[in-house]
């Protein structure tokens, strides 16, 4: 059993990981190996103390170097659910489960609002995880929505399984060329059930596509989908000054706890979370 | 009138200053030109995201470069009091006064507890500011307590005014050699009134020194001395998740708001303060 599982590899997750590593805690850090920042390559970050006028990419490179230097490892798994139990918390990544005494949620914020019918159908035809649920759609027809280019390889993977993929990317520079992939240029606006097993996706141009499954590949999912029963406020995880959530042993940091959506704020809360985890572990020995 | 006055030049103050500068606010930043961190030269900082295993001095040098690059200026004044008034807040630095719509307190934390009788006699023989109050003791006898070497030049300045200085430094490497300065190697443990104008200082070796004035030169003073009426909790300034204090328009960040005493936490709160200031200014146009 881990002392803590950190979910998310943005600046909040990094800050928590650095501090807990230094304090010799036994951690599992789940996230993306390239950190998956919402990096706008043009953007200059001018207000992060210690990094002078860096681009998002430069900041990421420094962070990656620091992770290596501190001998930290990011395990690239998509978390599909966090379930508090007696004396431990289970984290599911598809069919794999991990257990920890505490959890730090540094899961970012949904930049794209859920569409109508999305949340109601999670686990019933709507999935956020290609590697977890892809095999369910072998030989079937699926709709794949992707908010950024990082998800293109997941779409390609899904296209090796499914008979037909309707691929709906909302980024530019699309580079996918497979005979069973059809690019959809309009946006999905609603998901409706169609009989027992099918789903209809209504597009912004009012076309309807009928499929067996829908993958919504995006940087963050609603906290209440990830952690059933977690208390939220305006779709942010509600925390106190110690970054505690309503669940004992579950803490949250960064954009998922609310504005300002800033590197400095995220890094600060990641640090606070790490110290709250240590205090919690000491109290619950 | 300034949009905001930032008091303190540690990482919390820096973070607030960088963000408010970027947002084109009209700020006055009061602090120490060398930032005055509690730098332990041996210490390695391993858990601040973006700076890989730096010493305190290396971190300070990066911060100083960033301040220069962002065209920020630290005005070296010792704040003696913050007074909320109708529609504005006054900041006193000895006999000088500045006004602002908002204040960010990033004043650090007292690492040395006040001694018995200290707080009761502030402004009545006990001072925290050599440049503000030194002239009051021309030709008199004073006791000067200093927590670090940065204050040595202030002690020397006081010795040019006073007839006699009892100098009680709690750092090593003391370099003061003036005929009217006597080094005291024991610590002060209590201040008592002696008649109408004199003070007795009882030392840890039970000696008593009688003087006209006492200077306590240290990195931070009690928040309630600096801002009369500010709400505190365990001698920390009480703030909410937006870093608001009990006074409208006064925000606080960093060590002064409580543990963990960490660079990352301070930087995060400085950023939150800056955004809270902007929201406040927009609401109170």
- DSSP sequence for B38-87: ---TT-EE-SSTTS-SEEHHHHHHHHHHHHHHTT---B-----EEEEETT
Q: Tell whether A85 and A204 lie within a shared domain.
A: no
Given A49, A240, A258, which is nearest B66 (Cβ)? Answer: A49
The per-residue pLDDT for B222 is 85
Task: Give the integer Cα–Cα distance in Å for B214 and B225.
Answer: 16
* Among the partner residues A51, A70, A258, nearest to B46 by beta-carbon distance: A70
CA distance B68 to B186: 41
Domain that holds residue A164: 119-217
Count the alpha carbons within 13 Å of A117 in the hemisphere toward its beta carbon.
16
CB contact under 8 A, A271 and B258: no
For residue B119, count other CB atoms closer than 10 A to its CB.
Answer: 14
Are A7 and A105 in the same domain? Answer: yes
Instruction: Determine contact, residues A29/A73, Cβ cutoff 8 Å.
Output: yes
Greater confidence (A28 vs A32) lies with A28
- Give the pLDDT score at B42: 43
Question: Of the spans A27-41, A137-151, B111-125, which averages the highest pLDDT?
Answer: A137-151
Partners of A262 on chain B (C-beta within 8 Å) are 19, 271, 275
Q: What sign does the CA torsion over B170, B29, B229, B195 have?
A: positive
The answer, yes or no, to whether ipTM is higher than 0.90 is: no
SS3 readout for chain A: CEEEEEECCCHHHHHHHHHHHHCCCCEEEECCCCCCCCCCCCCEECCCCCCCCEEHHHHHHHHHHHHHHCCCCCECCCCCEEEEECCEEEEEECCEEEEEEEEEECCCCCCCCCCECCHHHECCCEECCHHHHHHHHCCCEEEEEECCHHHHHHHHHHHHHCCEEEEEECCCCCCCCCCCEEECCCCEEEEEEECCCEEEEEECCCCEEEECEEEEECCCCCHHHHCCCCCEECCEECCCCCCECCCCCEEECHHHHCCCCCHHHHHHHHHHHHHHHHHHHHHCC
Joined together, the tokens standing for residue A11 give 């600046």
- Is A268 in Cβ contact with B265 (below 8 Å)? yes
CA distance B216 to B209: 15
Q: How far is B62 from chain A (nearest CA, A)?
A: 6
**Residue where one domain finishes, among candidates B177, B196, B217:** B217
- Same domain, residue pair A10 and A103: yes
Q: What is the CATH number of the domain that holds A83?
A: 3.50.50.60
* B50 vs A contacts (CB less than 8 Å): 48, 50-51, 59, 62-63, 66, 267
- How far apart (Å, rounded) are the C-alpha atoms in residues B213 and B200? 9
Looking at B173, B200, B217, the residue that finishes a domain is B217
Please, are residues A237 and A257 in contact by the beta-carbon 8 Å criterion?
yes
The pTM score is: 0.85
pLDDT of A35 higher than 90: no
User: Which residue in B17, B56, B264, B273 has the most chain A C-beta atoms within 10 A of its own C-beta, making it the best mutation to test that interface?
Assistant: B264
**Domain end among B200, B217, B234:** B217
Q: How far is B53 from chain A (nearest CA, A)?
A: 8
- Mean pLDDT, residues A193-198 taken together: 93
Q: How far apart are CA B143 and CA B125, in angstroms?
A: 10
Taking 70 as the pLDDT cut, the residues of chain B under it are: 36-42
Return the closest-CA partner of residue B78 out of B126, B24, B115, B132: B132
Binned at pLDDT 50, 70 and 90, residue A42 comes out as: very low
Burial readout B18-38 (b: 16 or more C-beta within 10 A, e: otherwise)? bbbbeeebebbbbbbeebbbb
Q: How many domains does chain B have?
A: 2
**One domain for residues A264 and A206:** no
Average pLDDT over residues A21-36: 91
For residue A131, what pLDDT band results from cuts at 50, 70 and 90? confident
Amino acid B81: pLDDT: 93
Q: If you average pLDDT over residues A199-214, what whole number do you get? A: 96
* Residues in B lying within 8 Å of A, measured between beta carbons: 11, 14-15, 18-19, 21-22, 46-53, 59, 62-63, 65-66, 69-70, 239-241, 258-260, 262, 264-272, 274-275
CB contact under 8 A, B15 and A49: yes
Same domain, B103 and B224: yes
Q: Does A120 score more than 50 pLDDT?
A: yes
**Do B67 and B105 belong together in one domain?**
yes
Nearest alpha-carbon partner for A162 in A151, A149, A185, A178: A178
Are A260 and B269 within 8 A, CB to CB?
Answer: no
Do residue A123 and residue A207 come from a single domain?
yes
For residues B82 and B182, membership in a common domain is answered with no
Residues in contact with A222: Cβ distance below 8 Å, sequence separation at least 6, in sequence order: A110, A114, A119, A235
Question: Hey, is B252 helix, strand or coil?
Answer: strand
User: How high is the pLDDT of residue A37?
Assistant: 56
Do A150 and A205 sit in the same domain of this protein? Answer: yes
Compute the Cα dihedral for A249, B275, A39, A166 and give only its sign. Answer: positive
Whether B49 and A63 have beta carbons less than 8 Å apart is answered as: yes
Smallest CA–CA separation between B201 and chain A, in Å?
A: 39
Same domain, B98 and B225: yes
* Torsion angle of C-alpha atoms A109, A115, A120, A126, degrees rounded to 10: -80
Is A98 a residue whose pLDDT tops 90?
A: yes
Q: Do A50 and B48 count as a contact with CB atoms less than 8 A apart? A: yes
Are B8 and B81 found together in one domain?
A: yes
Tokens of B238: 């009480």
Longest dimension (CA), chain A: 58
Can you give the pLDDT at residue B38?
61
Say if residue A208 is in the same domain as residue A255.
no
The residue behind tokens 């794949």 is A144
The pLDDT value recorded for residue A128 is 87
Distance of CA A29 to the CA centre of its chain: 13
């Amino acid at each position: 059993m881990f002392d803590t599982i950190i979910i998310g590899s943005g600046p909040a997750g990094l800050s928590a990981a650095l501090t807990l590593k230094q304090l010799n805690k036994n951690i599992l850090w789940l996230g993306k190996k390239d950190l998956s920042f919402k990096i706008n390559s043009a953007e200059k970050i001018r207000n992060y103390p210690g990094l002078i006028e860096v681009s998002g990419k430069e900041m990421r490179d420094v962070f990656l170097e620091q992770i290596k230097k501190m001998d930290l490892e990011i395990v690239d798994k998509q978390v599909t659910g966090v379930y508090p139990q007696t004396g431990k918390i289970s984290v599911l990544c598809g069919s794999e489960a991990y257990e920890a005494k505490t959890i730090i949620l540094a899961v970012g914020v949904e930049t794209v609002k859920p569409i109508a019918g999305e949340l109601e159908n999670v686990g019933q035809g709507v999935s956020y995880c290609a590697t977890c649920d892809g095999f369910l759609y072998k030989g079937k027809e699926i709709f794949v929505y992707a908010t950024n280019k990082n998800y293109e390889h997941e779409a390609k993977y899904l296209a090796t399984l499914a008979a037909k993929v309707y691929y709906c990317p909302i980024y530019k520079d699309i580079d996918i060329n497979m005979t069973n992939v059809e690019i959809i240029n309009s946006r999905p606006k609603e998901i409706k059930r169609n009989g027992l097993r099918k789903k209809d996706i209504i597009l912004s141009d009012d076309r309807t596509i009928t499929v067996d499954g829908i993958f919504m590949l995006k940087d963050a999912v609603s906290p209440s989908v990830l952690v059933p029963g977690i208390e939220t406020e305006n779709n942010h995880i509600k925390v106190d000054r110690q970054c505690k959530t309503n669940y004992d042993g579950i803490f949250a940091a960064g954009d998922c706890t609310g504005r300002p959506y800033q590197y400095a704020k995220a890094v600060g809360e990641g640090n606070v979370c790490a110290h709250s985890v240590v205090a919690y572990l000491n109290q619950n020995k």
